[in-house]
Structure 1
Amino acid sequence: MAGLGLWLVRRTHGTGGGRAFGYAGGQAAMMFGFAFVCAVETVAMSVLLSDWPAVHAVVLVLDVYTVVFVVALHAASVVRPHVLGPDELRVRRAVHVDLRIPLDRIASVRRELRTTPERAEGELDLAVGSQTTVTVELAEPVTHVTLLGRRHELRVVRFHADDSDGLVRALGARLAAPPLFGDSV
């Protein structure tokens, strides 16, 4: 629920020192449509169950929780954008995925629109609306730990970004830039 609070005050989480690239725009209409349908269902169930106060109270609590949960799920996506930092790319998906990719491990990046990608070993696809718009190929694998603790070695990461052209340009410029004095290659 912290994401809901950050969303209400229009703040982001974990973007300090980096450039944020959102991905929630592609799912906003669907999420708010779903929240609206849940709210209509709450009113309908309230009318239908008005003669049974105990059942009405239980269903009302569950329905209100569902509406808040749907809005909070969208809020978590808004306040946790992808972040291009000075030495890493953070690819995120709400509170479920936070993958840190060191820039020195990125072999190539390109804008690539793919719909409903098939799962493959060594690949991570974070689609929004069944689409990914950015493909990052890695020179060395990066370890991704899932929400349940399973580890995967990744060589390709595909994800959605609302401004995929801007992200690819910024990341490409960062990869092409010579290291600063004192920085390691």
Structure 2
Amino acid sequence: MRRIAVRRWAASLWAFLLRRRIGLGPDDVELGYAREQIPVMLILTFVLALETAVVGLLVPWPIVHVLDVCAVLQVVVALAVLVTRPHFVGRDRLVLRNGARFELELPLTSITAVSATRKSHRGGTFQFQDDVAELAIVVGGQTNVLVELAEPVLVALPNGTTREVEQLRFRTDEPARAVTAIREAANGLAAPGTAR
């Protein structure tokens, strides 16, 4: 499992350096979700790099320098993973992601409704709401798009938990654009009026 994670991180860092997105085709619509996190990550990277330089002057132990460089690299890789693995709408599918550890592919024909609906959340990244069979993929304590499905879909989370859901909430940088892209793609596949 650790090797898979390291490979995904390395692939994300390489794609980040080449300014590419992982898994997106030329006609896919990217739905990024890291815009609000990027400034924080860049500031953290700068502070850690500065700390590495200062500690390098004050502490003569090589192991401390190695650990400092690893900390900077870890933040850069985390940023790369968020940027290079966005949600996206393909020709016949909606793919929801959370970094390199979670990916859910939904056929567009299974979507009955989509709307830009902002909701605040407390707790972890993945939150189930049992009374409405809903999964929220939370970023920054919020979601802003709601997708309703025609039938329940089994979702497997990184921690091994699985549940059936009929609604999905997720966050994207541009919710109106996401809703439009999902509706247009779904309406292109399904009978008129299926995706609202």
Superposed pair shares fold, TM > 0.5 = yes
Give the CA deviation at 1:179.
4.0
Match of 2:89 among 80, 84, 104: 84
Question: Which residue number in structure 2 is paired with residue 173 of structure 1?
Answer: 184
**Distance in 2 (alpha carbons) for counterparts of 1:48 and 1:153:** 55
TM-score (norm 2): 0.80
- Deviations along 1:13-32, one digit per CA (max 9) or x if unpaired, are 11114222211112101111
Deviates more, 1:109-118 or 1:21-30: 109-118
Taking the TM superposition and a 5 Å limit, the aligned residue runs for 1:75-154 are: 75-117=80-122, 119=127, 120-121=129-130, 122-154=133-165
**Distance in 1 (alpha carbons) for counterparts of 2:105 and 2:135:** 13
Instruction: Return closer, same or farther for 1:178/1:21 CA change in 2, 3 Å cut-off.
Output: closer
Counterpart contact for 1:117–1:125, Cα < 8 Å: no
Q: Which structure's CA Rg is the greater one?
A: 1
Question: Which residue number in structure 2 is paired with residue 6 of structure 1?
Answer: 15
Matched, 1:64 2:64: no
Question: Which residue number in structure 1 is paired with residue 30 of structure 2?
Answer: 20
- Deviations along 1:86-133, one digit per CA (max 9) or x if unpaired, are 221001111011111111221211111222256323432222222212
Give the length in aligned residue pairs.
175
- Deviations along 1:126-172, one digit per CA (max 9) or x if unpaired, are 22222212111222122222224332222222111112111101212
Instruction: Return closer, same or farther for 1:112/1:179 CA change in 2, 3 Å cut-off.
Output: closer
Deviates more, 1:16-25 or 1:85-94: 16-25
* Counterpart secondary structure, 2:119: strand
TM-score (norm 1): 0.84
Counterpart contact for 2:16–2:84, Cα < 8 Å: yes
**Distance in 1 (alpha carbons) for counterparts of 2:189 and 2:157:** 34
Identity among equivalent positions (%) equals: 35
Instruction: Return closer, same or farther for 1:44/1:123 CA change in 2, 3 Å cut-off.
Output: farther
**Distance in 2 (alpha carbons) for counterparts of 1:142 and 1:24:** 26
**Distance in 1 (alpha carbons) for counterparts of 2:159 and 2:122:** 22
**Distance in 1 (alpha carbons) for counterparts of 2:182 and 2:11:** 29
Counterpart contact for 1:27–1:128, Cα < 8 Å: no
Give the CA deviation at 1:46.
2.5
**Distance in 1 (alpha carbons) for counterparts of 2:65 and 2:189:** 59
Counterpart contact for 2:44–2:75, Cα < 8 Å: yes
**Distance in 2 (alpha carbons) for counterparts of 1:116 and 1:44:** 39
- Deviations along 1:40-78, one digit per CA (max 9) or x if unpaired, are 32233323423xxxxx21121111111111111111111
Name structure 1 gaps, 5 residues minimum: 51-55, 181-185
Moved over 4 A (4+): none
